[in-house]
Amino acid sequence: MLSRAEIENIATLARIGLAEKDVEKYQHDLSGILDYFKKLDEVDVTGIEPIGHITGMTNTFRSDKQVDFGDLGKQAMLRNIPEEREGYIKVKSVL
Amino acid sequence: MIKELHQKLINKEITATQLTQDYFDVILKKDGEIGAYLTLTKELALEQAQLVDEKIARGQEIGMLEGIPGAIKDMLCVEGYRTTAGSKILDNYLAPYDATVIKKLKEGGAIILGKTNQDEFAMGSSTENSAYQLTRNPIDLSRVPGGSSGGSAAAVAGGEAVWSLGTDTGGSIRQPASFCGVVGLKPTYGRVSRYGAIAMASSLDQIGPFTKTVEDAAIVLSAIAGEDPLDATSAKSSDKKFEDYLTGEIAGKVIGVPKEYVEKLEGEILEVFEKSVEKFKALGAKIETISLPHTQYALPVYYILMTSEVSSNLAKFDGVKFGMRADDLLDSGVSDNELPKNLLETYLDTRKIGFGDEVKRRIMLGTYALSAGYYDAYYLKAQKVRALIRRDFEKAYEKVDLIYCPTCPEVAFKFGEKTTDPLKMYLSDIFTISVNLAGVPAISFPIGFLEIEGKKLPIGGQLIGKWFDEEGILNAADAFERNRE
């Protein structure tokens, strides 16, 4: 069973706010699923290369060119910003 | 169905505008009950229909999908329209651009009726995880349509669209197709561009069609497939017309039936499945029992890799550049003095309020699997076992042309039946996830029914093909469909 501290640490890493009642629920849910993952312990993977790309594609290249979305494109993107000031994204202070 | 409608359009028996209006009428009449749609794109639809009608009036040739109305899972960006991925965190998100598949469909003159309901960020097998509404199975309204693309499956099954698009990460097209009695196709990984599809697990996601017939699925696939410079994982492929490969002829083809799958079947589903195997035999196919020995590890591998990719892909939903931000959420029950005071609190609160339970659970799991000290034990190990799962398929295809099994070990279940136990819900995907892990294409199509409480609940068969052999599975499924009693 994952400890309370472990759940709090994962939530901080994942940037998900936790309510007090959630901690126990996650302890229970996550531990159950992690136990299920243990099934993989029985598989011998000596000498097996991990999958990189499933159909075996390697590098894909394109020219290093900037794409301009134009004024309309910029407006469409700015429309989705929760809080904007003078074309910048406004957020709460970092510290 | 698409070919007949196409013929009616060119014979001027019906206009594209009338056809589109007819579908909106059906939606108005039925969708209150079914709940397939989240947003209707009526203005866009009628505009597109008008263009098609003008073309026909000028005597110009039109494409096969031109003027034919369909629906789009809300996971895919349609420019200027709300695209929520079934999540509150994207409640007010207006897509600033078209997904590549949407661009292709628009250029091909297809009509887009609206955006369909889904499990939040495609995480679920019943569409019950949508932050907005339930979608009901048109065959039996007391049952789920499957998921995560439940809205798209229900729209086609309920006659509210001719075709629709879904996304499939672990079965999210095939399982709802099976539950709703329609055809659903997951193409080979890389066959269809994922640009503009909101990412869930990037190494597994593919976009594909729902339709009433196999031929229609081939037509829609032809319209959306192809290489795309905007998706570096899209494969080089020649432009194929998949519908041209449907000969109805499968004599001599070798179809492998994996014993690990059949072992899990029982009762009437097993009977229906065995009957369908006999049908393939009668059509001249050779049936061989095969083994995919790593099948039992597919589910844990899938849940490690998928949650890891989810935790990374969903990091961008932080309330800064788009979507919901908890700072302003006065109407969500947050009192003024509890609003975020700094940027970190903005992140924590936005994600706490904006994401649903299942999404948070998966982000937490993935974060854990990728965190320092656990990466080798979980993620790396899973990627290695994934290689063994792919090898199972490679070995099988040395002996057989196609693999055949049911899509699901069950028929559509009732609402609330599985929501309390996440692991139980995950088991609904047991026959579909290996396909995503191996990257191969697969199609689900109706093979029979299970009668419960006077309702004929559909059972789906699943044909799995070699990498980039969509025409092989489409042709075999089409042959089956042509010979259905």
Q: CA B257, CA B254: separation in Å to the nearest integer? A: 10
Q: Does A67 touch chain B (CB under 8 A)?
A: no
Residuewise pLDDT in 10s, chain B (485 residues): 999 999 999 999 999 999 999 999 999 999 999 999 999 999 999 999 999 999 999 999 999 999 999 999 999 999 999 999 999 999 999 999 999 999 999 999 999 999 999 999 999 999 999 999 999 999 999 999 999 999 999 999 999 999 999 999 999 999 999 999 999 999 999 999 999 999 999 999 999 999 999 999 999 999 999 999 999 999 887 778 999 999 999 999 999 999 999 988 889 999 999 999 999 999 999 999 999 999 999 999 999 999 999 999 999 999 999 999 988 655 455 666 778 889 999 999 999 999 999 999 999 999 999 998 899 999 999 999 999 999 999 999 999 999 999 999 999 999 999 877 777 777 778 899 999 999 999 999 999 999 999 999 999 999 999 999 999 999 999 999 999 86
> For chain A, what are the domain ranges?
4-42
Distance from CA of A46 to the nearest CA of B (A): 9
Specify which residues B192 forms β-bridges with.
Answer: B225
Q: CA B304, CA A33: separation in Å to the nearest integer? A: 10
Q: CA B475, CA A8: separation in Å to the nearest integer? A: 52
Report yes or no: B207 and B189 within 8 Å, Cβ to Cβ. Answer: no
Is B73 among the catalytic positions? Answer: yes
Among B412, B483, B462, B466, residue whose Cα is nearest residue B183:
B462
Report yes or no: B130 and B146 within 8 Å, Cβ to Cβ. Answer: no
Report yes or no: A49 and B384 within 8 Å, Cβ to Cβ. Answer: yes
Structure tokens at A79: 């429309």
Kindly determine whether residue A18 and residue B300, on different chains, have CB atoms separated by under 8 Å: no
Is B203 among the catalytic positions? Answer: no
- Other beta carbons less than 10 A from residue B60's beta carbon: 10
Contacts of A14 in chain B (CB under 8 A): 311, 351, 363-364, 367
Catalytic residue among B125, B126, B148, B222: B148
Among B186, B48, B202, B168, residue whose Cα is nearest residue B114:
B48
Distance from CA of A2 to the nearest CA of B (A): 11
Q: CA A55, CA A50: separation in Å to the nearest integer? A: 13
Can you point out the beta strands (E) in B188-260?
A: 206-211, 254-258
Could you say which architecture CATH assigns to the domain B1-317+355-485? Alpha-Beta Complex (3.90)
Amino acid at B16: A
Contacts of A76 in chain B (CB under 8 A): 79-80, 94, 96-97
Per DSSP, the residues of B380-423 read IHHHHHHHHHHHHHHHHHHH-SEEEEES-SS-PPBTTSSTT-HH
Q: Enter the DSSP assignment of B192.
A: B
Q: CA B186, CA B172: separation in Å to the nearest integer? A: 9
Whole-Å CA distances, B146 to B26, B117, B445: 22, 11, 14
Q: CA B162, CA B213: separation in Å to the nearest integer? A: 10
Q: CA B105, CA B224: separation in Å to the nearest integer? A: 7
Q: Spell out the CATH class of A4-42.
A: mainly alpha
Structure tokens at B391: 């090898």
Interface list for A 27-66 with B (CB within 8 A): 29-30, 32-34, 36-37, 39-40, 43, 45, 48-51, 53-55, 57, 60, 62
Helix, strand counts (H, E) of chain A: 3, 2
pLDDT at A77: 86
From the list A30, A80, A91, the residue facing B322 with the nearest CB is A80
